[in-house]
Amino acid sequence: MMHDQGPAVAEGEADPARDIRLAEALAGIDWGGDERHARALLGALPVAVYTTDAEGRITYYNQAAVELSGRRPELGSDRWCVTWKLYLPDGTPLAHDQCPMAIALRENRPVRGVEAIAERPDGACVPFLPYPTPLRDETGRLVGAINTLVDISERKQADRAIRESEARFREQFENANDFIFTADLKMRLTSCNPAVTHALGVPLEALIGHSVSEFVPAAAAERNRRILSARPESRQSVRYEAEVNGPDGEVMVWEISSRLTRDPDGTPNGFHGIGRDITERKRDERRLRLLVDELNHRVKNTLAIVQSLAHQSFQGDDASGARASFQGRLVALAGAHNLLTSRSWESAELGEVVETALGGCAADCARFSIHGPPVPLHPQSAVTLSMALHELCTNAAKYGAFSTPEGHVDVSWSVSDNDEPMLSLRWEESGGPSVAAPARSGFGRRMIERALAYELRGRARLDFRGEGLVCEIEAPLARLAGKDCRPGG
Give the C-alpha separation, 481 to 262, whole Å. Answer: 61
pLDDT band with cut points at 50, 70 and 90 for residue 27: low
Which of 13-22, 160-169, 236-245, 288-297 tops mean pLDDT? 160-169
Beta bridge pairs of residue 469: 464
Residue 128 pLDDT level (bands cut at 50, 70, 90): very high
Q: What is the pLDDT of residue 100?
A: 96
pLDDT(11) > 70? no
Check pLDDT > 50 for residue 5.
Answer: no
Query: Per-residue pLDDT for 424 more than 70?
Result: yes
Query: Is the confidence at residue 77, as pLDDT, over 70?
Result: yes
Predicted local distance difference test score (pLDDT) of residue 435: 83
Confidence class for position 359, pLDDT limits 50, 70, 90: confident
Rounded to whole angstroms, the Cα distance separating 295 from 376 reads 20
Which whole number is the average pLDDT over 481-487? 63
**Max CA separation in the chain (angstroms):** 147
What is the pairing mode between strands 125-130 and 116-119?
antiparallel
Instruction: Tell me how far CA of residue 165 lies from CA of 158, 161, 168, 169, 271, in angstroms.
Output: 10, 6, 5, 6, 21
Q: What global pTM score does this model have?
A: 0.49
So what's the pLDDT on residue 388? 86
State the pLDDT confidence band at 125, using cuts at 50, 70 and 90.
very high
- pLDDT over 60 (residue 17): no
Q: Edge-to-edge strands of the sheet including 179-183?
A: 189-192, 179-183, 268-277, 251-262, 238-245
- pLDDT tier for residue 127 given thresholds of 50, 70 and 90: very high
Range with the poorest average pLDDT among 128-142, 158-172, 286-300, 375-389 = 286-300
Residue 274's pLDDT band, with cuts at 50, 70 and 90, is very high
Domains of the chain: 16-157 (3.30.450.20), 176-277 (3.30.450.20), 282-480 (3.30.565.10)
Res. 215 pLDDT band, cuts 50 70 90: confident
